[in-house]
Amino acid sequence: MTKLIVANWKMNGTLESTRKFCQQITSFTQESKTRNTLVICPPALYLKSLKNDLKEGDIKTGAQDCSAFSEGAYTGEISARMLDDIGCEYVLIGHSERRQYHQESNDLLSQKIQRALEAGLCPIFCIGESEGDHEAGRTQDVLREQLKVLGAFKGNKSIVLAYEPVWAIGTGKVATLEDIQNACAFIKEILFNEYAVVSPILYGGSVKGKNASSILSLPAADGVLVGGASLQASEFWEIATAV
């Protein structure tokens, strides 16, 4: 089964490191192949360079965010149509760091998903519980609440979900395989029963080359969203070819 492997570089990298990554990942793809779908989400400033430097056509590009507005006097914003205009195909929406540092609400996230869909981008909608909610046994309650954003998109099959427990992002902590399977299976159940959708579910949270195979082998995990480990072409390729 084809898996979706998404790299989120966050606010890391330079033009030179982006070009070096592209050279290395291209050499890896020439030496061996993967049947998985690979998506790289660099800082927006480097999207065009990444697109130009990737010589392997099967690797797709994604943005880390998009504006809730289509166009207009919104200084500093980047619209979904602009991303589509430079060949972007995916966009992350609702990452926990956007929720935490920019106080993004469900209403705002719904608007961003709408703009992405209108532009022909595939939204990767991120959800996940805090450590306090996890320890208190409120994981399913939090996920159900966050999934309400999809109420306006019932039946839409163009949205990918990414389950990222907040306490496992960049901390080195990894949810147990049982936790990952249960959460992803719960999300699939809610999507099908309440929103008439069957969508790919990714897992994110300290995914590395050494644990990618076991995570990707889970029945309910359709791929992974990789943070820090995706900055090194060699480790990202190890993850990309883990299954």
The catalytic residue positions are 95, 164
Q: If you write DSSP's letter for every residue of the chain in order, what string do you get?
A: ---EEEEE--S---HHHHHHHHHHHHHHHHH---SSEEEEE--GGGHHHHHHH---TTEEEEES---SSSSSS-TT---HHHHHHTT--EEEES-HHHHHHH---HHHHHHHHHHHHHTT-EEEEEE---HHHHHTT-HHHHHHHHGGGGGGGTT----EEEE--GGGSSSS----HHHHHHHHHHHHHHHHHHH-----EEEESS--HHHHHHHHTSTT--EEEESGGGGSHHHHHHHHT--
